Amino acid sequence: MTRPRTTTVPLHDDGIRALLDEVAAGKLPVAQALRQLRTLPFEDLGFAHLDHHRLLRKGFPEVIFCAGKTPAQVGTIFARLAQRHDQVLGTRATPEQYRAARRRLRGVQYHESARVLLLDKKPHRRRLPGVIVAAAGTSDLPVAEEAALTAEAMGHAVQRIYDVGVAGLHRLLPHLPAMQEANVLVVVAGMEGALPSVVAGLVSAPVIAVPTSIGYGASFHGLTALLAMLNSCAPGLSVVNIDNGFGAGYLAAAINRKVHSGHQP
């Protein structure tokens, strides 16, 4: 039996080729090679290190957080990621950053309300059902759309249920059968942040609560909604940070992918 090696392979294509040659020759166990590949490689752009193997480790490529980056930096990162991946996603993007990415690549989309940049080379691929994104009010839609677009980019079919907050709870009830069939729900709310607790008390699937910074002065830019959600008495509810639609959409996609993989023979 070949004993696992602990040597580190250099972070470049020649190193990967050498590692694969060792596997083919029977000198390195497949499990050990897989552990090493999960850390390889990254690309040094000077101002950024692109993690090209995040797809292998996480199931989706590295996502660009565009806030604070120059348009040129976003355009360069976007183009380099697109060379290796079929989907490229950028969050908190500006119109200027979109124009920089569009100059480098055809097919880049910009969802202005959600501030999302998206390139999808396989837009008609089959998407996994089971994800619902619900929003309390129309003012919460930018955050809800960030969540929905993230999950869709990751290969999931998203059902949207919008403007169903507790100020008119009867608007939510017709959607209850669909919500009870979902594998995971993202529920977005500002103000007092009550909607996720209501939904979590009515469904068996995990609920990911997203507080938004929508509200009058005592909402403290979403802090009131965040604390309300963290103090929910409804079981099966988790909470992401204020306005973090991306984090909620990513988590929902990960949960839904696990549900579907568990159904495979």
Confidence at residue 103, expressed as pLDDT on a 0 to 100 scale: 93
Alpha-helical (H) ranges within the chain are 13-24, 30-37, 54-58, 71-84, 95-104, 141-153, 176-181, 195-200, 223-230, 245-263
Instruction: Return the closest-CA partner of residue 226 out of 190, 259, 260.
Output: 190
Mean pLDDT per segment of 10 residues, for the chain of length 265 residues? Answer: 36 61 87 71 78 79 93 94 89 96 92 95 91 97 98 96 94 96 97 96 97 95 97 96 97 94 61
- 128-259 — its CATH code? 3.40.50.1970
pLDDT for the residue 4: 34
pLDDT of residue 47: 83
Q: What's residue 2's pLDDT?
A: 39
Report pLDDT for 138: 96
pLDDT at site 40: 61
pLDDT (0 to 100) of residue 36: 67
- 69: its two tokens: 């980056």
pLDDT of residue 263: 57
Domain(s) labelled CATH 3.40.50.1970 in the chain stretch across 128-259
SS3 80: helix
The sheet carrying 237-239 orders its strands as 156-162, 128-135, 184-189, 207-211, 237-239
Q: What is the pLDDT of residue 265?
A: 39
What count of Cα atoms within 13 Å lies in the side-chain half-sphere of residue 201? 10
